Amino acid sequence: RSSAAKLKDIASLPRPAQYRRRQTRRDDTMTFLDLVVSSGSTMIAGGIEPLALGKFTENLKMEKQRTGAPYPKIIRMFASRGVPGIMAGAVPWGVLLGSSKGLFFGLGKAAGEAVLPGSLQGKYREVAKGGFAGAFQGVGIAPFLLASTRVNQAIAQGNQAATSLSYSFTILGNVIKNEGFQAITRGMGTNAFKRALDWVVRFYIRESLTDPIKARRAKSLKPGEKVQLTDVDKLWTSLAAGGISVYVSTPLDRLLPLLQQRDSSKTTVELLREQFKGGMSKIYAGAVARSAHAALHVCFLMYVGEKIKSAFKN
C-alpha cells in the first residue's frame, strides 16, 4: 500500500487512552468548578445574612434567653444604641461566621452527594446530604462561632466597648492568649452533632412540604416532563423548615454557648442542672426570636444561595 494510504489508516484509528485522559481531565475540571460555584454561592449568601437582620435576630434571641424581658423592651434597648447596637457583632465576626457557615454547608452538601450510594434517592437522599452539610458546618465554623458568642456575651453583660469594631477584631486573639488554643475547639463535637441534626430536620421538613406540591402538579404534566417548583414555593418552604426546626434542636442550641463560655471546673451535666432548673419554659425561652433567626438562616443558604448559583451559571 502507498504511504499516503497507510497514514490515512493510522489517522483513522481511535485513540482511546488519549481521549480518556482528556475527557477525565475535562470532567474533573467541571466537577471542581461546580463545587466552587456551589460552595461559593452559599458562602456569599451566608455572608449577606447577618447584614439582613440575621445578626439582629440572633442578638435578640440571646438577650431574651438571658433576661426574659419582653421583646419590645429588648428591641428598644438595642435601638437606643443606634446602628452599632442593632448590628452589634455583625462586622466582622457575624459576616465571617455567616460566610463560613455558607462555605462549609456547600462543601458538606457536595461531599454528601459524592459519597452517598446511587440507590439512595428522593427525599432521603436530600435529608442525608443535609446531615453532611450540617456536620461540615459545625466543625468549620468553630473559631468564628466562639468569637461571635463571646461578643454577644460581653454585650449582654453591659460592656459598651463590645459594640465597637476594635473589640470584635481582638476578641479571638484574647481568648487564645488567655485560655489557650484548645478554647477554639471547645464544644466542637456538640456543635457538629447539633448542626447535623438541625439540617437533617430542616431538609426533611422542606422535602415533606414540597412533596405534596410536586404530587399535585405532576398530575397535569405530560409524560417526560419534570415538576418545577416556583420561587415562592422554594422561599416559603425554606423559611418554614428553618422556623420549625428550632423546636427540635433547641436544647442542644442552648447547651453549645454554655460550653463555650463555661468555667472549665464545671462539667456538662453541672451546667445543664444549673441552667435548666426552670424546666422546659426556660429551655425554650426566646423560641420566637430563635425561630425567626433560623428561618432567615435556612432561607439564605437554601433559597438565596440557589439564586446566586443560578446567576453564576447564567
- Residue 24's pLDDT is 41
Q: 202: how many CB neighbours lie within 10 A of its CB? A: 30
Residue 148 corresponds to which amino acid?
A: S
Which backbone phi and psi does 263 adopt, to 5 degrees? -75, 130
- Residue 21's pLDDT is 44
Give the cell for residue 83. Answer: 446602628
Residue 241: closest CA among 297, 188, 189: 297
Do 108 and 136 form a contact (C-beta atoms < 8 A)? yes
Q: 273: how many CB neighbours lie within 10 A of its CB? A: 11
- Residue 259's pLDDT is 64
Q: 50: how many CB neighbours lie within 10 A of its CB? A: 29
Give the cell for residue 223. Answer: 409524560
What whole-number distance in Å separates Cα of residue 207 and Cα of residue 130? 11
Do 256 and 190 form a contact (C-beta atoms < 8 A)? yes
HSE-CB at 152 with a 13 A cutoff on CA atoms is 25
- Residue 14's pLDDT is 53
- pLDDT lower than 50: segments of the chain: 6-8, 10, 17-30
Residue 62: closest CA among 148, 3, 124: 148
- pTM of the complete model beyond 0.85: no
pLDDT in tens, 199-253: 999 999 999 999 999 999 998 888 888 889 999 999 999 999 999 998 887 777 6
- Residue 163's pLDDT is 62
- State the alpha helices, DSSP H only, in 13-70: 16-48, 54-67
The helix, strand and coil proportions of the chain, stated in percent and rounded to the nearest 5, come to: 80, 0, 20
